[in-house]
Amino acid sequence: MAEATSGDGDGSPPEEEGADDGVRVDMISGARMEGLTSMEKIRLILDGVREGNIVILEEGLTPDEESKLIEVTMTEISPDEFSGIEIETYPKSSSKDPGLFDRLMGNETTQKLTVIGPANQIETLHKDENLISALVSRK
């Protein structure tokens, strides 16, 4: 049984109920992430993933935040406890590359649906520019 939540507005997803029965999925809207700092976003993601949840971000992270997410994930890996994350986004299409003007004007969009889960529970089966297929298992 899978349970999906979208949070209750206080900055963190609600306490889980009956999570032992399945895999919890937290779908976090772009509006929820908007007011958070990079480290708050990373904390929100990693806290969820370390509890065994699948976190889906409506609008993804910036490249700089992705870089920090990898760095913080590495510092938290611990033998027999947490082996890291699996993260999936659609590969960026070169035709959607923002021009220099857009980047200078801050119009560069980072919107890309992003799925993040514990490395030992999520396995990517197929990935291309239009489809990500993943297998999610219980702990």
Positions that interact with another protein (CB under 8 A):
62-64, 66-68, 70-71, 73-75, 77, 79, 83-89, 91-92, 94, 97, 119-120, 124, 127-128
Going by C-beta distance under 8 Å and a sequence separation of 6 or more, which residues neighbour residue 53? 13, 16, 23, 24, 25, 26, 117
CA-CA distances (angstroms) from residue 52 to 45, 82, 99, 103? 11, 10, 39, 36
Give min distance, CB of 25 to another protein, in A: 19
Smallest separation, CB 1 to another protein (Å): 26
Number of Cβ atoms within 10 Å of the Cβ of 51: 15
Nearest CB to another protein, comparing residues 5 and 89 = 89
Q: How far is the CB of 10 from another protein (least distance, A)?
A: 28
Exposed/middle/buried for 73, CB within 10 Å: 0-12, 13-18, 19+? buried
Smaller CB separation from another protein, 10 or 81? 81
Residue with tokens 């035709």: 95
Minimum CB distance to another protein smaller for 53 or for 73: 73
- The residue (of 30 and 98) whose beta carbon lies closer to another protein is 98
In the complex, least distance from residue 75 CB atom to another protein, rounded to whole angstroms: 6
